[in-house]
Amino acid sequence: MPTTFYKKLSETFTFLFFIWLMFFCTFTLGRYPQEGILWLLEQLNQFLATILPQGLLLDFISNGVVNGVGSVLSFLPNILILFFFMYIFEESGYLTHVAALLDHLMHKIGLHGNSVVPLLMGFGCNVPAILATKTIPEFKRRVLTMLLIPFMSCSARLPILVLLVGTFFPQHPILVIFGLYALSIVMAILTAILLDKVFFKTPIDLTPVEVLPLQKPKIKNVLRLTWDAGYEYLKKIGTVVLIAMMAIWFLSNFPQNDSSVYSSAHRLAAVQPPSPYSSTEAEPQPNGDNTYLACFGRFIEPALRPLGFDWKMSVCLTTGLAAKEFIVGTMAILYSSGEDNLENPHIGTQLRNSGVFTIPVVLSFLVFAMLYMPCVATIYAIKRESGSWKWALFSVVYSIALAWGVAFVVFRVALLF
């Protein structure tokens, strides 16, 4: 018995070390090539400013295309590092050993050990992780696993974490990242216990997890799979993200007021967000910005104001419903600072200088972004694999409600300190 205990303890610490190493390399080593990409974007913006006249065209190319799309592109190195580690774990057969290690714990929360592999895959992308639940023989356990996978922070949320944590918590980024991932995992565990008691009252299949022998991963295969993941990310940036950022720029610039100037930032600056520290009703907003996006943002802002969010943050989270990558790109457009943006296009600098993102607000935003509803592709995958829209819609409603509640508590507690 003692030998088995110490063996499991050793395997647990080994697993935690590998997870820490993956995050360390993703957020620390990935910062250097990311800064190189940002430098290239800065040079491109300065070049555009020399060949194009001041006006809507320059603002569209600089803020709408270069900064909107480039802000998402700059996180490609972090994405590649994350997938590199994930594919090493997969190719070596290590994931099955982790599944066997956590099998007993999975039974405690109403899951089978086979659920571990799809859940871990969810840190890369939720969609293939949901497809991987086919390995779980029992239908109810399969559906329960599908509902938990969105709590695993996928690579699309990675740019949000890297941006906000790197900007506002530069002293302890890995600690904050670990805390956020731990929070999402705890929420997944509590959700599993709750849903198991309410909806899935059936005995758990105690069949042992099939463990594959550990083998040396073929680096050629790992690099090929990593390249494929990077290519898909670039293809998404060049199509879906590009179109979305162009649309967001248009909506944030039109209709133009008679007194408006070429840059959306000058108009957006006229709208002061409510103070996140005020417990009273916010003062009426000036109506100097009547763009489509501003009107929509003010319409949904009251629902998110208790979390400390202004209308711009509300719009960013709304665009993230389609794909989480849109959040960073939308930030780059809405929080740009006009001509200063050409000299320093780093979105982190723009957010820090905005004066809106205090530490309580940042923590609340991070928690909400980690927990709220999965992207459209994930929702459809849940519907397809579960055979019903019921569970897909449940995932949407439940995750939004949970994200709002947890973010509210985090925001209010953070204000105390």
The number of angstroms, rounded, from the C-alpha of 254 to the middle of its chain's C-alpha atoms is 28
Model pLDDT for residues 96-141, shown as the tens digit of each residue: 888 888 888 888 888 877 888 899 889 988 999 999 898 888 888 8
Dihedral sign for Cα 221, 226, 227, 231, please.
positive
Between the alpha carbon of residue 107 and those of residues 46, 141, 186, 214, 274, the distances in Å are: 58, 11, 16, 24, 46
User: Which residues have a Cβ under 8 Å from the Cβ of 403 and sit 6 or more positions away?
Assistant: 367, 368, 370, 371, 372, 373
d(Cα 179, Cα 193) in Å, to the nearest integer?
21
Higher pLDDT, 276 or 389: 389
Model pLDDT for residues 56-89, shown as the tens digit of each residue: 899 999 988 998 999 899 999 999 999 999 999 9
pTM for the structure as a whole: 0.87
Report the pLDDT value the prediction gives residue 337, as an integer from 0 to 100. 55
Nearest to 334 by CA among 249, 270, 275: 249
d(Cα 296, Cα 283) in Å, to the nearest integer?
18
Taking residues 236-242, what's their average pLDDT? 92
Nearest to 241 by CA among 74, 58, 31: 74
Angle at 376 between CA 182 and CA 149, to 5 degrees: 30
